[in-house]
Protein backbone atom coordinates (compact mmCIF):
# COMPACT_ATOMS: atom_id res chain seq x y z
CA UNK A 1 0.00 0.00 0.00
CA UNK A 2 2.53 2.54 1.21
CA UNK A 3 6.29 2.47 0.81
CA UNK A 4 7.91 5.18 2.84
CA UNK A 5 11.21 6.98 2.54
CA UNK A 6 11.50 10.72 2.93
CA UNK A 7 15.17 11.07 1.99
CA UNK A 8 15.67 14.79 1.75
CA UNK A 9 18.90 14.49 3.72
CA UNK A 10 21.11 11.84 5.22
CA UNK A 11 20.45 12.98 8.77
CA UNK A 12 18.09 11.14 11.10
CA UNK A 13 15.31 13.58 11.89
CA UNK A 14 12.56 13.38 14.49
CA UNK A 15 8.88 13.94 13.80
CA UNK A 16 5.63 13.85 15.78
CA UNK A 17 3.68 10.61 15.72
CA UNK A 18 0.16 9.56 16.75
CA UNK A 19 1.24 7.28 19.62
CA UNK A 20 3.72 9.68 21.18
CA UNK A 21 3.95 9.67 24.98
CA UNK A 22 3.42 13.41 24.81
CA UNK A 23 -0.15 14.46 23.93
CA UNK A 24 1.18 17.65 22.33
CA UNK A 25 3.21 15.59 19.85
CA UNK A 26 0.21 13.44 18.94
CA UNK A 27 -1.89 16.56 18.42
CA UNK A 28 0.87 18.06 16.28
CA UNK A 29 0.96 14.90 14.15
CA UNK A 30 -2.81 15.07 13.57
CA UNK A 31 -2.71 18.78 12.73
CA UNK A 32 0.12 18.29 10.23
CA UNK A 33 -1.65 15.36 8.57
CA UNK A 34 -4.89 17.34 8.15
CA UNK A 35 -2.93 20.18 6.51
CA UNK A 36 -1.06 18.02 3.97
CA UNK A 37 -2.13 18.51 0.35
CA UNK A 38 -2.12 16.14 -2.66
CA UNK A 39 0.97 16.06 -4.83
CA UNK A 40 0.68 16.37 -8.60
CA UNK A 41 2.52 14.46 -11.30
CA UNK A 42 4.90 16.64 -13.29
CA UNK A 43 5.27 15.37 -16.86
CA UNK A 44 7.88 18.06 -17.57
CA UNK A 45 10.22 16.69 -14.90
CA UNK A 46 13.36 14.78 -15.85
CA UNK A 47 12.02 11.96 -13.62
CA UNK A 48 9.55 9.87 -15.61
CA UNK A 49 6.03 9.01 -14.49
CA UNK A 50 5.72 5.23 -14.22
CA UNK A 51 3.04 2.58 -13.68
CA UNK A 52 3.21 -0.80 -12.00
CA UNK A 53 0.17 -3.06 -12.50
CA UNK A 54 -0.19 -6.17 -10.32
CA UNK A 55 -2.89 -8.84 -10.03
CA UNK A 56 -3.59 -11.28 -7.20
CA UNK A 57 -6.09 -14.11 -7.78
CA UNK A 58 -8.07 -15.34 -4.78
CA UNK A 59 -10.42 -18.35 -4.60
CA UNK A 60 -13.43 -16.45 -3.19
CA UNK A 61 -15.91 -14.18 -4.92
CA UNK A 62 -15.51 -10.39 -4.94
CA UNK A 63 -18.46 -9.90 -2.58
CA UNK A 64 -16.41 -11.66 0.10
CA UNK A 65 -12.93 -10.46 -0.78
CA UNK A 66 -13.68 -6.74 -1.08
CA UNK A 67 -15.20 -6.32 2.42
CA UNK A 68 -12.39 -8.43 3.86
CA UNK A 69 -9.82 -6.22 2.14
CA UNK A 70 -11.50 -3.12 3.55
CA UNK A 71 -11.62 -4.65 7.03
CA UNK A 72 -7.97 -5.63 6.89
CA UNK A 73 -6.88 -2.19 5.70
CA UNK A 74 -8.74 -0.44 8.53
CA UNK A 75 -7.61 -2.81 11.29
CA UNK A 76 -5.22 -0.80 13.47
CA UNK A 77 -3.63 -3.98 14.84
CA UNK A 78 -2.45 -5.23 11.43
CA UNK A 79 0.91 -4.73 9.78
CA UNK A 80 1.74 -5.13 6.10
CA UNK A 81 5.34 -6.16 5.86
CA UNK A 82 6.89 -3.44 8.00
CA UNK A 83 4.06 -0.96 7.41
CA UNK A 84 1.24 0.07 9.69
CA UNK A 85 -1.55 2.50 8.79
CA UNK A 86 -2.02 5.49 11.12
CA UNK A 87 -5.42 7.18 10.98
CA UNK A 88 -6.68 10.39 12.54
CA UNK A 89 -8.32 9.97 15.98
CA UNK A 90 -11.81 10.69 14.67
CA UNK A 91 -11.48 7.88 12.09
CA UNK A 92 -10.16 5.11 14.31
CA UNK A 93 -12.36 2.01 14.24
CA UNK A 94 -14.52 3.34 11.40
CA UNK A 95 -14.75 2.39 7.72
CA UNK A 96 -12.69 4.42 5.29
CA UNK A 97 -14.38 7.54 3.93
CA UNK A 98 -13.85 9.60 0.81
CA UNK A 99 -11.35 12.39 1.48
CA UNK A 100 -9.86 10.71 4.56
CA UNK A 101 -6.16 11.34 5.12
CA UNK A 102 -3.83 8.77 6.66
CA UNK A 103 -0.20 7.83 7.05
CA UNK A 104 1.73 4.65 6.27
CA UNK A 105 4.54 4.25 8.79
CA UNK A 106 7.34 1.77 9.27
CA UNK A 107 7.09 0.10 12.67
CA UNK A 108 10.02 -2.12 13.49
CA UNK A 109 11.80 -3.59 16.49
CA UNK A 110 15.50 -4.28 16.87
CA UNK A 111 15.22 -7.84 15.56
CA UNK A 112 13.64 -6.58 12.35
CA UNK A 113 16.24 -3.81 12.08
CA UNK A 114 18.97 -6.46 12.14
CA UNK A 115 17.15 -8.44 9.46
CA UNK A 116 16.78 -5.27 7.40
CA UNK A 117 20.52 -4.65 7.47
CA UNK A 118 21.08 -8.22 6.33
CA UNK A 119 18.82 -7.73 3.30
CA UNK A 120 20.32 -4.47 2.06
CA UNK A 121 23.08 -5.98 -0.04
CA UNK A 122 20.65 -8.45 -1.65
CA UNK A 123 18.15 -5.73 -2.50
CA UNK A 124 20.39 -2.86 -3.53
CA UNK A 125 23.78 -4.36 -4.41
CA UNK A 126 26.56 -1.76 -4.45
CA UNK A 127 23.93 0.93 -3.90
CA UNK A 128 23.37 -0.42 -0.35
CA UNK A 129 26.16 1.82 1.00
CA UNK A 130 24.92 4.97 -0.72
CA UNK A 131 23.65 8.02 1.14
CA UNK A 132 19.98 7.60 0.07
CA UNK A 133 19.76 4.01 1.36
CA UNK A 134 21.62 4.88 4.55
CA UNK A 135 19.23 7.77 5.14
CA UNK A 136 16.24 5.49 4.52
CA UNK A 137 17.51 2.91 7.03
CA UNK A 138 18.32 5.65 9.52
CA UNK A 139 14.79 7.00 9.36
CA UNK A 140 13.29 3.52 9.68
CA UNK A 141 15.38 2.98 12.80
CA UNK A 142 13.95 6.18 14.25
CA UNK A 143 10.41 5.25 13.22
CA UNK A 144 9.90 8.42 11.19
CA UNK A 145 9.79 7.17 7.61
CA UNK A 146 6.39 7.58 6.02
CA UNK A 147 4.08 8.10 3.11
CA UNK A 148 0.89 10.12 3.39
CA UNK A 149 -2.32 9.56 1.45
CA UNK A 150 -5.84 10.81 0.86
CA UNK A 151 -8.66 8.55 -0.30
CA UNK A 152 -9.69 9.93 -3.68
CA UNK A 153 -12.14 7.23 -4.83
CA UNK A 154 -14.11 4.72 -2.79
CA UNK A 155 -16.75 2.28 -4.06
CA UNK A 156 -17.71 -0.26 -1.42
CA UNK A 157 -21.16 -1.19 -2.79
CA UNK A 158 -20.89 -1.21 -6.60
CA UNK A 159 -23.75 -2.13 -8.94
CA UNK A 160 -23.81 -5.79 -10.01
CA UNK A 161 -20.91 -6.61 -12.31
CA UNK A 162 -18.94 -3.48 -11.41
CA UNK A 163 -15.67 -3.22 -9.49
CA UNK A 164 -15.05 -2.43 -5.87
CA UNK A 165 -12.58 0.48 -5.74
CA UNK A 166 -10.20 1.99 -3.20
CA UNK A 167 -7.86 4.67 -4.54
CA UNK A 168 -5.64 7.10 -2.72
CA UNK A 169 -3.34 9.88 -3.83
CA UNK A 170 -0.05 10.75 -2.17
CA UNK A 171 0.23 13.89 -0.06
CA UNK A 172 3.10 16.30 0.48
CA UNK A 173 5.71 14.82 2.77
CA UNK A 174 5.78 11.63 0.67
CA UNK A 175 8.84 10.88 -1.49
CA UNK A 176 6.61 10.13 -4.50
CA UNK A 177 3.68 11.77 -6.23
CA UNK A 178 0.92 9.74 -7.85
CA UNK A 179 -1.70 7.26 -6.69
CA UNK A 180 -2.43 3.69 -5.71
CA UNK A 181 -5.66 2.18 -7.00
CA UNK A 182 -7.03 -1.13 -5.73
CA UNK A 183 -9.94 -2.84 -7.48
CA UNK A 184 -11.68 -6.14 -6.74
CA UNK A 185 -13.76 -7.90 -9.39
CA UNK A 186 -15.19 -11.36 -10.01
CA UNK A 187 -13.50 -13.69 -12.46
CA UNK A 188 -16.23 -14.85 -14.82
CA UNK A 189 -14.17 -16.47 -17.57
CA UNK A 190 -14.41 -20.27 -17.05
CA UNK A 191 -11.08 -20.79 -18.80
CA UNK A 192 -9.33 -18.49 -16.32
CA UNK A 193 -10.98 -20.25 -13.38
CA UNK A 194 -9.99 -23.65 -14.77
CA UNK A 195 -6.41 -22.49 -15.35
CA UNK A 196 -6.12 -21.71 -11.65
CA UNK A 197 -8.00 -24.84 -10.54
CA UNK A 198 -10.88 -22.98 -8.88
CA UNK A 199 -14.65 -22.91 -9.36
CA UNK A 200 -15.07 -19.30 -8.28
CA UNK A 201 -12.68 -16.49 -7.69
CA UNK A 202 -11.88 -12.81 -7.83
CA UNK A 203 -9.03 -10.57 -8.88
CA UNK A 204 -7.51 -7.95 -6.62
CA UNK A 205 -5.65 -5.54 -8.86
CA UNK A 206 -3.35 -2.71 -7.89
CA UNK A 207 -2.39 0.06 -10.28
CA UNK A 208 0.49 2.08 -8.86
CA UNK A 209 1.21 5.31 -10.76
CA UNK A 210 4.18 7.14 -9.35
CA UNK A 211 6.89 9.70 -9.87
CA UNK A 212 9.80 9.97 -7.47
CA UNK A 213 10.35 13.52 -6.25
CA UNK A 214 14.15 13.42 -6.17
CA UNK A 215 16.79 11.77 -8.31
CA UNK A 216 18.28 9.97 -5.30
CA UNK A 217 14.93 8.43 -4.41
CA UNK A 218 14.38 7.48 -8.06
CA UNK A 219 17.65 5.54 -7.96
CA UNK A 220 16.68 3.94 -4.64
CA UNK A 221 13.25 2.94 -5.93
CA UNK A 222 14.70 1.48 -9.12
CA UNK A 223 17.29 -0.54 -7.19
CA UNK A 224 14.89 -2.09 -4.70
CA UNK A 225 12.14 0.22 -3.48
CA UNK A 226 9.56 -1.07 -5.94
CA UNK A 227 10.27 -4.63 -4.81
CA UNK A 228 9.49 -3.59 -1.22
CA UNK A 229 6.31 -1.90 -2.40
CA UNK A 230 5.21 -5.13 -4.10
CA UNK A 231 5.88 -7.06 -0.90
CA UNK A 232 3.49 -4.77 0.95
CA UNK A 233 0.80 -5.16 -1.75
CA UNK A 234 1.08 -8.94 -1.72
CA UNK A 235 0.90 -9.04 2.07
CA UNK A 236 -2.24 -6.90 2.03
CA UNK A 237 -3.87 -9.18 -0.54
CA UNK A 238 -2.85 -12.32 1.32
CA UNK A 239 -4.26 -11.07 4.63
CA UNK A 240 -7.50 -10.08 2.89
CA UNK A 241 -7.78 -13.52 1.27
CA UNK A 242 -7.42 -15.25 4.63
CA UNK A 243 -9.91 -12.87 6.26
CA UNK A 244 -12.39 -13.74 3.48
CA UNK A 245 -11.97 -17.45 4.19
CA UNK A 246 -9.92 -18.12 1.08
CA UNK A 247 -6.35 -18.09 -0.18
CA UNK A 248 -4.19 -16.57 -2.89
CA UNK A 249 -3.91 -19.01 -5.80
CA UNK A 250 -1.86 -16.94 -8.23
CA UNK A 251 -0.20 -13.56 -8.74
CA UNK A 252 2.00 -11.85 -11.28
CA UNK A 253 4.05 -10.44 -8.40
CA UNK A 254 7.24 -12.52 -8.67
CA UNK A 255 7.76 -15.00 -5.86
CA UNK A 256 11.03 -13.24 -5.02
CA UNK A 257 9.08 -10.01 -4.44
CA UNK A 258 6.34 -11.50 -2.26
CA UNK A 259 8.11 -11.97 1.07
CA UNK A 260 9.97 -9.76 3.44
- CA–CA gap between residue 79 and residue 20 (Å, rounded): 19
Among candidates 70, 69, 82, 67, which has minimal Cα distance to 248? 69
Greater confidence (133 vs 167) lies with 167
Q: Which fold has domain 23-257?
A: Alpha-D-Glucose-1,6-Bisphosphate; Chain A, domain 4 (3.30.530)
Q: What is the mean pLDDT of the chain?
A: 84
User: Which of 34-43, 149-158, 213-222 is predicted least confidently?
Assistant: 213-222
Task: Tell me the domain boundaries of the chain.
Answer: 23-257
Q: What angle do CA 9, 14, 16 make, to 5 degrees?
A: 130
In the chain, the largest separation of any two C-alpha atoms, in whole Å, equals: 58
Model pLDDT for residues 149-177, shown as the tens digit of each residue = 999 999 999 999 899 999 999 999 888 99
Residue 92 burial (C-beta neighbours within 10 Å; 0-12, 13-18, 19+): exposed
Instruction: Indicate the pLDDT class of residue 101, thresholds 50, 70 and 90.
Output: very high
Question: Is-contact 105 145, C-beta < 8 A?
Answer: yes
Amino acid sequence: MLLAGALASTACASAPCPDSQRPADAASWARELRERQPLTLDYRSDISVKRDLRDVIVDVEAARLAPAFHQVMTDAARRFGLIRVDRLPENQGKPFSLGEKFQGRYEVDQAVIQQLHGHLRDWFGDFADSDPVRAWVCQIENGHTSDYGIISELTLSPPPGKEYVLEYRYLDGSPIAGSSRFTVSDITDPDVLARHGIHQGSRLRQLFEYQERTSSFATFFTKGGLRLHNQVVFNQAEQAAVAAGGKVVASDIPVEYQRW
